Amino acid sequence: MLAGTVAFMALSVLSFAQPTFPENGVADPRHGYYAFTNATLVKDASTTITNATLVIKDGRIVSAGQALPVPPGAVEVNCKGKYLYPSFIDIYADYGINQPQRPAGAGQFNFQQQPQLESAAKGPYGWNQAIKSDADAFRVFIVDDAKAKPLREAGFGAVLTHIRDGVARGTGAVVSLANEKENLVIIKDRASAHYSFNKGTSGQSYPGSMMGYIALLRQTYLDAQWYKNKPPKEGFNLSLKAWNETQDLPQVFEANDKWNDLRADRIGDEFGVQYIIKGGQNEYQRIKDMKESNATFILPLNFPLAQDVEDPNDAQFVSLSDMKHWEMAPANTAAFEKAGIPFCLTTADLRSVNQFWSSLRKAMEYGLSESKAMEALTKTPAVTLGIYDKVGSLEPGKLANFLITNGPIFNEKTIILQNWVQGMKYTVKEDAASVAGTYALTVNGPAGKEDYTLDVKNASTITMFAKDTVNAKFSFDGKQVKITYAPATKRQRGGAAMPGDSTRRMGGPGGFNRGGGQMEQPLPATATRLNGMDNGTEWNGTGTDSLGNPLTWTATLVKLAEPKMDSAVKKPVPDVGKVIYPFQPFGWNETQQPKQETILIKNATVWTNEKEGVLQNADVLIKNGKIAAVGKNLSDPSARIIDGTGKHVTPGIIDEHSHIAAASINEGAQSVTSEVRITDNLNPDDVNIYRQLSGGVTTSHILHGSANVIGGQTQLIKLRWGANAEDLKFKGSAGFIKFALGENVKRSAFTGGNNRYPDTRMGVEQVLVDAFTRAKDYQREWNEYNAVKEKLVKEKKSTASLVPPRRDLELDALVEILEKKRFITCHSYVQSEINAAMEVANKMGYTVNTFTHILEGYKVADKMLKHGSYASTFSDWWAYKMEVEDAIPYNAAIMQKVGLTVAINSDDAEMARRLNQEAAKIVKYGGVTEEEALKMVTLNPAKMLHVDDKVGSLKPGKDGDVVLWSDHPLSIYAKSLYTIVDGTIYFDRAKDDQMQKEVDAERLRLVRKMNGEKRSGAPTTPAQPSYQLMHTCSEHGHSHGLLVIDADDISND
Amino acid sequence: MRNILLTIAAAVTISASAQETVLPAKPQTGTMYITNAIIHVGNGKVIENGTIKVKDGKIEEVGANIQVPAGATVTDVKGKHVYPGLILPTSTLGLNEIGAVRASQDYRELGDMNPNVRALVAYNTDSKVINTLRSNGILLANVVPQGNFVAGASSVVQLDAWNWEDAAYKTDAGMHVYFPTLMPRPNFGRFGGGGGAGGPQAPQTDPVKEGLDKIEGLKIFMREAKAYNALSTHEESNLKFEAVKGLFNKSQKFYVHANTAKQILAALDFVKEFGFDMVIVGGSESYQVADLLKKHNVSVILQQPHSLPTMADDDVDQPYKNAAALQKAGVLFAISDDDGQTRGRNLPFNAGTAAAYGLSKEDALAAITLNPAKIMGVADKTGSIEPGKDANIVVSDGDILDMRTSNVTDAFIQGRKIDLTDKHKLLNERFEQKYDLKPAKKGF
């Protein structure tokens, strides 16, 4: 420190003056004109200049370069041995914003409390309270030095801050972390626009699901576009106006999770917006998809703690995926770097900013490189926000936001000494380490001069000797020096223990010895005490000797210690196992990915579902993902042969009514939500996909729930375990939509008194009539518009003055029904409502494609046949609610005999894996033939889903969706041995046993690793059972075990 | 079945929406024979081409070589399968008519401590659900109260009766306790594993400790009840103490509704300290402590084998395999079916699934006949087709455990041939007539 000058350079305590503000006193204009010389200057992540000079003035960088002269008028600060870096930028901070808090329970839509159906916001806002596009962070931003200080100490100089409230959150502002007036600190007022899948303080019920969030955003994009034409009917809509005004800013979406990242990105793709995505910790689980999003990510560094899994009874309920995630999450940023995806780092989500460095170091230990870390903290955020002209590197014209460190910044031992923000110095830590060296100490006491040599190791360790070593203590805080010393005892000097020595007594005979080093010996009360100041070239001070006499003293630097290089050998990146797809037990890693094969099943009983019926001792050849041949004595030299002797082959089972593999199922906050789409929120991580493969299911129709009359659009999927959401979809399948009637839509199970229309079956019918009446008007409006437009185009006239009608996603879906481009599957039970639904359909000119559940279908089967409906029902469910009082297990058989095409569905993740047995019950109750019964879970659902040209029977050319059963497929003793989708074996019972062993071994490894973490003293968190959220039709009465929580029982938010 | 249906055809035309015309059968008197049967005894044995001799409601003889005197009352079952009446070991049958209709529910009383509550007195013999169970061979049920903690006493009923007093087969035979989960509560907003937003957070309170305290409170109650019941007179009567008297002399079973190893370990205290005859109900994780259960003579009722595995990490078929694991360890266990959508009628198929996953078919049958009879303390009267027991007998065309072959054609409770009509068959008949359909034929 004696040689350095950084520490004692005068600190400006004054701000730069603002011209418009009157001065109370005498003006003191300063320019903060400094030249930092002899530094190692890291201009940006890829450029380092040695022996550099950085000149700043008026809060900005004037020049930066090698060995530049110190300009006249500038104060020189010698930075020999120091490093200069651009200060970091956090573009996901909430600094200086008083974040609104959501009242407990607000905005939930469930069976326990009355929903708030309309916006409670007062003012000229849009219809949905969660769209707060008019909010501006800069209007509410207040400098808060208590919050700024830890950020500055972590190395940050500027942040992007915004109000974290709502689905649309308005604009964010870039502010510096200087402790100055807001006027000077706000670097860019409107720097970004923000969005999320979280309605925040909005108490409005809608959106009540992930699908609803997506639909709300999509509709708002459309509405805002439409609003540009100033539609008189809408009046003044501040929310849409502000939305439009902020579209040119960088658009930031808080998604926080790998699937949500992709959901957000898809919204952006639809409306020509490339979001900057605030991610979570789990993107490494789908890094290819992240790359394909083309987004820049903002990544947090909050890694899960090890769980305390010492008690095996606790460990048992911690899932493999949670433990694996604990192990792999710190490698998330490294995965982004490896994949070449641009990203910024943020302190957001950390429990405290103080954890930033330990978390960053962890990320680096797990493979994040130094240069990428630097880039992610400086250039990338600046470029992403379009403020690289102001911050992000050390170049002339930019803000003087820089760090001074005593070594390369990412070295373990390096300390950030100062963080200069807008040309203002903020000391982070005194450079106590650079005190190290040899000093000549002269003490002037009453007895004359005594000379000592001080060998200072660091700010708290010293060896002091004259002829002999003296017992001394030392401390240095950057300015003040304290030395206390006393002559050492003989033992200390010689190192030989004396008889009666205290160390011996403590340990007893053969007791422990505290090692061979010098003992830390308490100093006697009579020790000599020296106190002084660091004066730059020497230390001067006063003191008291052992007799109480006053002293003065001086210490002069003889030689600075050679700075110690960071000797820590770079640890190898820890082995964190492999990513598995999906990130669930029984997922496969990249080397195990199931592949399409040529498969020949020989000598089996083959249920073709074609006119050939059931073939004995027959073969099935699957090639290129399709059924290639069915018959006797087939051969194919390239095929994998599976012996089917004594076994049965059937087409893959198709579940017409399922709620697996989705992030949300019910958007019940309105009675008509045809705008929401299951496809927007598929969840490929649902282990029930694998479980249902084990029961021979290959295709599932994922339906919206039954919370409202017109629910959401459905998605047909194939159970391609491990695929992403896009690849789960059954390509080329027709669009469907869920309708529902009866008790659920009138909220009969709701204990708080229903306030959502309808409350009776009378009202249900009117909701349908009203929706389709509106849809027809809407259809006509568009038809008229299109006709006029077409005419103008034909006549080569301008269409500029033609204002298109408002696009309404809700009505779009209903028009698709009217145009026979979308088909209905309608949850229904009792004969009155079935007839009413058909009557409305007949009047409005559409058909109810499928009545699902339809447990009283047997009462009106003739009418359903006449209407042209299909029926999808349960085998033997009844008496779980009033409207199934008359449900009978003969229902399916009666409907089938009347001539309807009947399917048996599951609506239940457990029963779905026994659908073959459910079909068998239709033989038991009602006496249909076994072939007809099997069709009820294969060909018949294919027909009603309009995919019977692709699946449902074993016919050459159809998809290779096949099950090999151990026994008669309608028997309770039958198990799927192979479940094949598109010629790919996704379930193999023999392999499943092996995978179970691997799951158990991996669990054991991770439990041991977590226990090791605990024993090593690392913080742990109590074991948290891995609860699973399950979505259902809202039928209740299901119980799926200890760890499953029905989504209906909690907030749908 | 056809014959039965024809005999009640008149009733069908009058009212199909009810079963008011299905009458409980009169007591069986004299001697009756069931011949040409494949007799599944219930204890693991099968008698091919056997005969059962029934006298005054009791089984007198069972075997392959029983002489049937000329002119005797004979039911020739012609090679069909004959089973002991199936027993549904835990059920809210008769206490819960329509799942979502509160007014129709009588199975859950208010409060934590209800040992004095008796399920039997609310059992509705006219429940429409009862006959649908008989149609699948279920002739007895344990009617069990539910609750927050100590829920009350269960009774075993036979399913052909005018009222609950007639139905009672063993009264107040079990005391039911629903154990606290002893598991941290979920963090709402974080599901699905693999690290969505946020990570696991420490729970606010320690539910394990809270739960253990609650269980400790029950032990204190039991100690006081024991002391109280040791005296013959009391200054002040305590109905709750008196309600558990049977636990101490083992005339009453102690049913602990619990699933996890931790819960089961905590429950062992009641065996060790009080010597109760304990039954674990639920038992989804009981396979993990099967040896301890065996060691302490604790039996298990697996509530619903047709369930999903507890953990994503578990064997996808774990619930199907639990029965075989308990069998292997020598634990006495029964299988139940408490599915709210099908109301217990799939009991034999839950057992059939256990047979598909490691149990022998006869062991699977025992899990819904003799084993529950032993567990519920009625094995002296029912559970197997053996001399001296009540003639609770079911006849099926084929294997009763497989829905593909199960078709119950005849059933006897205490030797009384019961009417197998149920609401569903009546509605089926009604609408077969509407559409002029041929009556349903079996598919095999």
A762-781 confidence digits (pLDDT tens): 999 999 999 999 999 999 99
A350 residue type, one letter: L
Chain A partners within 8 Å of B194 (Cβ): 282, 285, 321-322, 324-325, 583-584, 685
Contact between B323 and B354 (Cβ < 8 Å) = yes
CA distance A548 to chain B (A): 56
Q: Which residue in B98, B181, B311 is closest to A879 by CB distance?
A: B98
- Asked if B262 has any chain A CB less than 8 Å from its own CB, the reply is yes
* Confidence band of A413 (pLDDT split at 50, 70, 90): confident
**Chain centroid, CA A138 distance in Å:** 27
Q: Mutate one of B181, B339, B403, B405 to test the A interface: name it (highest A CB count within 10 A).
A: B403
The pLDDT, as a whole number, for residue A515 is 38
Q: Which two tokens stand for residue A389?
A: 């002209």
The pLDDT, as a whole number, for residue B17 is 45
CA angle B292, B293, B294 (to 5 degrees): 90
Contact between A414 and A407 (Cβ < 8 Å) = yes
Chain B partners within 8 Å of A917 (Cβ): 349, 403
Q: Mutate one of B409, B431, B438 to test the A interface: name it (highest A CB count within 10 A).
A: B431
pLDDT at A496 over 70: no
Strand A902-904 and strand A870-873: the pairing is: parallel
Whole-model pTM?
0.92
CA distance A347 to A154: 10
Q: Mutate one of B92, B93, B341 to test the A interface: name it (highest A CB count within 10 A).
A: B341
Over residues A415-427, the mean pLDDT reads 95
- Taking only the tens place, the pLDDT of each residue in A849-860 is 999 999 999 999
| Contact yes or no for A1026 and B312 at CB 8 A | yes
* Confidence band of A497 (pLDDT split at 50, 70, 90): very low
The pLDDT, as a whole number, for residue A488 is 76
Chain B partners within 8 Å of A325 (Cβ): 193-195
CA distance B158 to chain A (A): 21
- Asked if B297 has any chain A CB less than 8 Å from its own CB, the reply is no
* Confidence band of A559 (pLDDT split at 50, 70, 90): confident
CA distance B357 to chain A (A): 8
pLDDT at A468 over 90: no
- Taking only the tens place, the pLDDT of each residue in B224-270 is 999 999 999 999 999 999 999 999 999 999 999 999 999 999 999 99
pLDDT at A46 over 60: yes
Over residues B292-304, the mean pLDDT reads 97
Q: What percent of chain A has pLDDT over 90?
A: 79
Q: What CATH number does the domain containing B372 carry?
A: 3.20.20.140
- Asked if B352 has any chain A CB less than 8 Å from its own CB, the reply is yes
* Confidence band of A27 (pLDDT split at 50, 70, 90): confident
| Contact yes or no for B427 and A862 at CB 8 A | no
Is residue B174 domain-resident?
yes
CA distance A464 to A470: 6
- Residue A769 is given by DSSP the state H
* Confidence band of A461 (pLDDT split at 50, 70, 90): confident
- Asked if B105 has any chain A CB less than 8 Å from its own CB, the reply is no
- Taking only the tens place, the pLDDT of each residue in A135-166 is 999 999 999 999 999 999 999 999 999 999 99
CA distance A527 to A258: 64
Give backbone dihedrals phi and psi of A916, rounded to 5 degrees, phi first: -60, -40
The pLDDT, as a whole number, for residue A567 is 52
**Chain centroid, CA A689 distance in Å:** 22
Q: Which two tokens stand for residue A353?
A: 């900013």
pLDDT at A478 over 80: no
The pLDDT, as a whole number, for residue A106 is 61
Tell me yes or no: is domain A88-427 CATH 3.20.20.140.
yes
Q: Which residue in A889, A930, A1028 is closest to B312 by CB distance?
A: A1028
Is residue B81 domain-resident?
no
Sign of CA dihedral B147, B148, B151, B157: positive
| Contact yes or no for B310 and A1041 at CB 8 A | yes
Give backbone dihedrals phi and psi of A454, rounded to 5 degrees, phi first: -105, 125
- Residue A581 is given by DSSP the state B
Q: Which residue in B183, B261, B403 is closest to A921 by CB distance?
A: B403
Q: Which residue in A687, A1037, A1040 is closest to B99 by CB distance?
A: A1037
Contacts of residue B316, Cβ cutoff 8 Å, sequence gap at least 6: A586, A690, A691, A694, A913, A992, B309
| Contact yes or no for B197 and A1041 at CB 8 A | no
| Contact yes or no for A890 and B427 at CB 8 A | yes
The pLDDT, as a whole number, for residue A500 is 41
CA distance A847 to chain B (A): 23
CA angle A746, A747, A750 (to 5 degrees): 155
- Taking only the tens place, the pLDDT of each residue in B369-393 is 999 999 999 999 999 999 999 999 9
CA distance B166 to chain A (A): 25
Alpha carbon of B205 to those of A319, B215, B327, B402, B427: distances in Å?
22, 17, 38, 47, 53
- Asked if B308 has any chain A CB less than 8 Å from its own CB, the reply is yes
Beta bridge partners of A717: A700, A729
Strand A461-465 and strand B31-40: the pairing is: unpaired
Q: Mutate one of B404, B427, B441 to test the A interface: name it (highest A CB count within 10 A).
A: B404
Contacts of residue A979, Cβ cutoff 8 Å, sequence gap at least 6: A652, A693, A694, A696, A697, A698, A719, A963, A985, A986, A987
- Asked if B286 has any chain A CB less than 8 Å from its own CB, the reply is no
| Contact yes or no for A878 and B346 at CB 8 A | no
- Asked if B209 has any chain A CB less than 8 Å from its own CB, the reply is no
On the CB side of A182, CA atoms within 13 Å amount to 13
Q: Which residue in B192, B407, B432 is closest to A924 by CB distance?
A: B407
DSSP string, B287-340: GGGHHHHHHTT-EEEE--SSS--SSTTS-TTHHHHHHHHHHHHT--EEE----T
Is residue B414 domain-resident?
no
CA distance A161 to chain B (A): 20
- Taking only the tens place, the pLDDT of each residue in B147-191 is 999 999 999 999 999 999 999 999 999 999 999 999 988 765 444
Q: Mutate one of B311, B405, B433 to test the A interface: name it (highest A CB count within 10 A).
A: B311
pLDDT at A676 over 90: yes
CA distance A112 to A417: 56
The pLDDT, as a whole number, for residue B16 is 43
- Taking only the tens place, the pLDDT of each residue in B84-140 is 999 999 999 999 999 889 999 999 999 999 999 999 999 999 999 999 999 999 999
The pLDDT, as a whole number, for residue A436 is 80
* Confidence band of A327 (pLDDT split at 50, 70, 90): very high
Is residue B420 domain-resident?
no
B49 CB neighbour count, 10 Å cutoff? 12
| Contact yes or no for A584 and B194 at CB 8 A | yes
One CATH from 2.40.128.120, 3.40.50.2020, 2.60.40.420, 1.10.3720.10 for A437-490+523-560 = 2.40.128.120
CATH 2.40.128.120 residue ranges in chain A?
437-490+523-560
Contact between A658 and A702 (Cβ < 8 Å) = yes
Q: Which residue in A304, A913, A914 is closest to B199 by CB distance?
A: A304
- Taking only the tens place, the pLDDT of each residue in A960-980 is 999 999 999 999 999 999 999
Over residues A1029-1040, the mean pLDDT reads 67
pLDDT at B42 over 50: yes
Which helix (H) or strand (E) is B362 found in, with range?
helix B361-366
Considering only alpha carbons, which residue of chain B is nearest residue A349? Answer: B198
CA distance A874 to A895: 12
The pLDDT, as a whole number, for residue B400 is 98
Contacts of residue B101, Cβ cutoff 8 Å, sequence gap at least 6: A881, A882
Q: How many Cβ pairs within 8 Å bridge chains A and B? A: 265
B295 residue type, one letter: K
Lowest mean pLDDT among A100-114, A540-554, A843-857, B167-181: A100-114
| Contact yes or no for A1037 and B196 at CB 8 A | no
ipTM over 0.90: yes
| Contact yes or no for A691 and B184 at CB 8 A | no
- Taking only the tens place, the pLDDT of each residue in A49-84 is 999 999 999 999 999 999 999 999 999 999 999 999
Number of structural domains in chain B: 1
Chain A partners within 8 Å of B402 (Cβ): 971-973
* Confidence band of A949 (pLDDT split at 50, 70, 90): very high
| Contact yes or no for A923 and B343 at CB 8 A | no
Tell me yes or no: is domain A653-951 CATH 3.20.20.140.
yes
CA distance A756 to B442: 47
Give backbone dihedrals phi and psi of A378, rounded to 5 degrees, phi first: -135, -80
- Taking only the tens place, the pLDDT of each residue in A689-731 is 999 999 999 999 999 999 999 999 999 999 999 999 999 999 9
Residue ranges making up the domain that contains B136: 86-185+205-382
Strand A186-196 and strand A276-278: the pairing is: unpaired
| Contact yes or no for A1037 and B309 at CB 8 A | no
CA distance A510 to B443: 90
* Confidence band of A15 (pLDDT split at 50, 70, 90): low
- Taking only the tens place, the pLDDT of each residue in A336-377 is 999 999 999 999 999 999 999 999 999 999 999 999 999 999
Looking at every residue in chain A, the average pLDDT score rounds to: 91
CA distance A345 to A217: 26
* CA-closest candidate to residue A553, choices A484, A470, A640: A484
| Contact yes or no for A257 and B197 at CB 8 A | yes
Is residue B268 domain-resident?
yes
pLDDT at B405 over 70: yes
Over residues A626-646, the mean pLDDT reads 98
- Taking only the tens place, the pLDDT of each residue in A228-265 is 999 999 999 999 999 999 999 999 999 999 999 999 99
In chain A, the N- to C-terminal Cα span, in Å, equals 57
CA distance B171 to chain A (A): 27
pLDDT at A294 over 70: yes
The pLDDT, as a whole number, for residue A445 is 86
The pLDDT, as a whole number, for residue A1050 is 55
Over residues B4-15, the mean pLDDT reads 42
In CATH terms, the fold of domain A596-651+952-1018 is: Urease, subunit C; domain 1 (2.30.40)
Contact between A108 and A1051 (Cβ < 8 Å) = yes
Looking at every residue in chain B, the average pLDDT score rounds to: 92
The pLDDT, as a whole number, for residue A750 is 77
pLDDT at A640 over 50: yes
